[in-house]
Amino acid sequence: MREEAKPGSYAYLLAAFDGWNDACSASTNVVRHLLNAYPSQEVGSIASEDFYDYQVARPMLCHVQGKRSICWPETKFYEVSISDATRLLVETGPEPNYHWSEYCRQSLHMAEDYEINSIITLGSMFADCPHTRDLPIDDLASDDASCDTEGHSGPVGVPTVLDAMACQAGFSTESIWVSVPQYLGSDECAQATLQLLRRVSSMLGEPLEEGDLPMKAEHWKAQASVLIHCNDELADYVHRLELESDSKAASLIPEAVDTPAGDELVREAEEYLKSMGGQA
């Protein structure tokens, strides 16, 4: 039985899905972190039979208390106790293979049952970005009047479909995506998870527990740096990404606070990129 809403509280649904939308497990690891860091309880699920291709999302053989059982792919909902002012419902599971509209409708029915005010979807994607800088975060909020958003055009995953249907149903929505360096492969990226968690913390207005994520993020950076030092070609590629990142950051500095150092940074980046183009 769900807990009644407290006077003055605000309720969020936070959703992240395994699969195409979850590079390096960065977004679903935010949910796993919250479930480990705070008191939580499972409060619902979406049955798997109608939504999954079991040759793609295969059932797993599990051992519980010495007994074997089949664990089917499934989307689950958890109540997470953050504070009296903030009620958090989280949704996580593999991205479904079939019937996305019905799947999202069932998700929104759960949100309605729990009197959710705002829906936040999380995602992570591979991109050309350096591990030595803050990873890029895209924050796409829906327009209350038209549900229009700016940004990505092209193929989408179930977080985007859920976000669109939620907006049409009258929910406030926000979609947060982090980019992870594609040159480092698919190992877990604690830095991306940490940055998503901090963005969620800012949205909730709550200082969320970070646990050992900062330490894991530093370890991830250290491992990446070792890899770069062992490969001159990769080191040159990362240096180019650093210059592109710094040039973009410098271009966002307001003219009123522009500095000679910022101008020099832009010039250095432009000269380097021109030289790389001449070598192509």
Picking from 212, 247, 271, the residue at the C-terminal end of a domain is 212
* Residue at 1 is within a domain: no
**Domain annotation covers residue 75:** yes
Domain shared by 199 and 144, yes or no:
yes
Instruction: Verify that 125 and 200 share a domain, yes or no.
Output: yes
Residue 145 has a pLDDT of: 42
Does 148 lie in the same domain as 85? Answer: yes
| Residue 148 CA: distances (Å) to CA of 102, 152, 157, 224, 257 | 22, 12, 17, 38, 33
Residues 111 and 240 in one domain: no
Tens-digit pLDDT profile for residues 128-177: 999 999 999 999 876 544 465 555 677 899 999 999 999 999 999 999 99
With respect to residue 218, please indicate whether it lies within any of the assigned structural domains: no
In terms of domains, do 116 and 245 share one? no
| pLDDT surpassing 60 at residue 265 | no
pLDDT of residue 136: 96
Whole-angstrom distance, CA of residue 166 vs CA of residue 140: 14
Residue 274: inside a domain? yes
Same-domain check for residues 268 and 167: no
Place 72 in a pLDDT band, splitting at 50, 70 and 90.
confident
Question: Looking at residues 265-279, what average pLDDT do you find?
Answer: 55
pLDDT of 137:
96
User: For the chain, what percent of residues have pLDDT higher than 90?
Assistant: 68
Q: What local confidence, expressed as pLDDT, does residue 255 receive?
A: 53
218: pLDDT confidence band, cut at 50, 70 and 90?
very high
Domain count, the chain: 2
Domain hosting residue 179, numbered range: 10-212
In a domain, 226, yes or no: no
Q: Are 261 and 175 members of one domain?
A: no
Answer yes or no: is 65 within a domain. Answer: yes
Is residue 154 in a domain? yes
Confidence at 257, pLDDT banded by 50, 70, 90: very low
Residue 63 has what pLDDT?
82
Q: What is the pTM of this model?
A: 0.84
Residues 143 and 252 in one domain: no
Question: 248 in a domain, yes or no?
Answer: yes
Residues 177 and 248 in one domain: no
pLDDT above 90 for 37: yes
Domain boundary among the residues 163, 182, 212 is at 212
199 lies in the same domain as 249: no
- Amino acid (1-letter code) at residue 152: H
Same domain assignment for residues 149 and 269: no
| β-bridge partners, 78 | 42, 90
CATH code: domain of residue 197? 3.40.50.10900
Q: Are residues 21 and 151 in the same domain?
A: yes
Mean pLDDT value of segment 2-22: 81
**What is the residue-wise DSSP string for 72-120?**
---EEEEEEE--SSEEEEEEEEEPPSS-HHHHHHHHHHHHHHTT--EEE
Instruction: Put the strands of the sheet holding 118-127 in their side by side order.
Output: 40-46, 75-81, 86-94, 10-18, 118-127, 172-181, 137-141
Q: Give the 3-state secondary structure of residue 255.
A: helix
pLDDT greater than 50 at residue 74: yes
Considering 212, 246, 268, which residue would you say is the last residue of a domain? 212
